[in-house]
Structure 1
Amino acid sequence: MKILNITKYFYPNVGGIESRNLEISRHLTGKYHKVYTLTSNHTGNLKNFEIYDGIEIIRHKILFTKFNDPFYPGEIFDILKLNYDLVHVDLPDPINSVFAFFASVLKSKPLYVTYHADIEKEELEKFPANLILNAYNLILKMVLWQARKIFVTSKEYSKSSKSLKNLKFEDECTHGKLVLSPNFINAQELRFDVTNKENRKKIEEIKEKSGLNNKKIILFVGRLVPYKGAKYLIEAFKKVEEEDDDTVLIIIGSGPLKEELEDLAKGSKNIKFTWRVEDLKPYYSLCDVFVLPSVSRQEAFGIALIEAMFFGKPCITTDIDSGMKYVVDYGNAGILVKPKDASGLKNEIIKLIKDDGLRKEIGEKARKRVLEKFASRVVLEKFEKEINKLIPKT
Structure 2
Amino acid sequence: MRVLHFYKTYYPDSLGGVEQVIRQLCVGTARLGVRNEVLTLTRGSDLASFTFEGHLVHRLRQDFEIASTGFAFAAFERLARLARACDVVHYHFPWPFMDLAHFVARVRKPSVLTYHSDIVRQKRLLRLYQPLGTRFLRRVDRIVATSPNYLATSSVLAGHRDKTEVITYGLDQTLYPAPEAARLARWRLRAGPRFFLFVGVLRYYKGLHILLDAVAGTGHPVVIVGAGPVERALKEHARRLGLHQVLFVGALGDADKVALLTLCYGLVFPSHLRSEAFGISLLEGAMHGKPMISSEIGTGTSYINIDGLTGLVVPPGDPHAFGRAMRTLWENPALALAMGRRARARYLELFTAAQMAKRYAALYRGLAAGRVPLAVGAGHAGAPPV
- The answer, yes or no, to whether TM exceeds 0.5 is yes
1:189 maps onto 2:175 in alignment: yes
TM-score (norm 2): 0.86
Note the C-alpha offset of 1:238.
1.9
Structure 2: stretches of 5+ with no match in the other structure: 372-386
Note the C-alpha offset of 1:53.
4.3
The letter for the 1-side match of 2:128 is A
Encode CA deviations 1:307-330: one digit per residue, 9 max, x unaligned. 111111110000112111111135
TM-score (norm 1): 0.85
Measured at CA, do residues 347 and 85 of structure 1 come closer, stay the same or move farther in structure 2, by a change above 3 Å? same
Instruction: Give distance in 2, aligned partners of 1:9 and 1:178.
Output: 24
Note the C-alpha offset of 1:389.
1.2
Correspondence for 1:286: 263
Equivalence map 1:1-394=2 (5 Å): 1-13=1-13, 14-47=15-48, 49-81=49-81, 82-101=84-103, 106=106, 108-121=108-121, 124=122, 129-130=123-124, 132-168=125-161, 176-190=162-176, 192=178, 199-210=180-191, 212-213=192-193, 216-241=194-219, 247-266=220-239, 267-278=242-253, 279-392=256-369
Measured at CA, do residues 331 and 135 of structure 1 come closer, stay the same or move farther in structure 2, by a change above 3 Å? farther
Instruction: Give distance in 2, aligned partners of 1:270 and 1:225.
Output: 21
Note the C-alpha offset of 1:116.
0.7
Deviating 4+ runs (over 6 angstroms): none
Measured at CA, do residues 335 and 393 of structure 1 come closer, stay the same or move farther in structure 2, by a change above 3 Å? same
157-166 vs 139-148, which moves further: 157-166
Note the C-alpha offset of 1:79.
4.0
Correspondence for 1:196: none
Instruction: Give distance in 1, aligned partners of 2:320 and 2:299.
Output: 22
Measured at CA, do residues 181 and 238 of structure 1 come closer, stay the same or move farther in structure 2, by a change above 3 Å? same
Q: CA contact under 8 A between 2:178 and 2:258: conserved in structure 1?
A: yes
Note the C-alpha offset of 1:110.
1.6
Instruction: Give distance in 2, aligned partners of 1:376 and 1:315.
Output: 21
Measured at CA, do residues 27 and 310 of structure 1 come closer, stay the same or move farther in structure 2, by a change above 3 Å? closer
Measured at CA, do residues 268 and 300 of structure 1 come closer, stay the same or move farther in structure 2, by a change above 3 Å? same
Instruction: Give distance in 2, aligned partners of 1:234 and 1:80.
Output: 47
Instruction: Give distance in 2, aligned partners of 1:220 and 1:148.
Output: 37
Structure 1: stretches of 5+ with no match in the other structure: 169-175, 194-198, 242-246
In percent, how many aligned pairs have the same letter? Answer: 26
Note the C-alpha offset of 1:107.
5.7
Q: How many pairs were matched up? A: 364
Note the C-alpha offset of 1:54.
4.4
Note the C-alpha offset of 1:61.
3.0
Q: CA contact under 8 A between 1:239 and 1:346: conserved in structure 2?
A: no
Q: CA contact under 8 A between 1:252 and 1:275: conserved in structure 2?
A: yes
The letter for the 2-side match of 1:63 is D
Note the C-alpha offset of 1:101.
4.3
4-13 vs 49-58, which moves further: 49-58
Note the C-alpha offset of 1:368.
0.5
Instruction: Give distance in 1, aligned partners of 2:250 and 2:278.
Output: 22
Instruction: Give distance in 2, aligned partners of 1:40 and 1:268.
Output: 39
Note the C-alpha offset of 1:360.
1.2
- RMSD over equivalenced CA pairs, Å: 2.3
The letter for the 1-side match of 2:231 is K
Instruction: Give distance in 2, aligned partners of 1:350 and 1:239.
Output: 12
Give the secondary-structure state (helix, strand or coil) at the position aligned to 1:240.
coil
Give the secondary-structure state (helix, strand or coil) at the position aligned to 2:92.
strand
Correspondence for 2:382: none
Encode CA deviations 1:50-79: one digit per residue, 9 max, x unaligned. 344443433333322222322222233334
Larger RCO, structure (CA 8 Å, separation 6 or more): 2
Instruction: Give distance in 2, aligned partners of 1:52 and 1:287.
Output: 30
Instruction: Give distance in 2, aligned partners of 1:55 and 1:191.
Output: 20
Encode CA deviations 1:73-97: one digit per residue, 9 max, x unaligned. 2233334443332222111111112
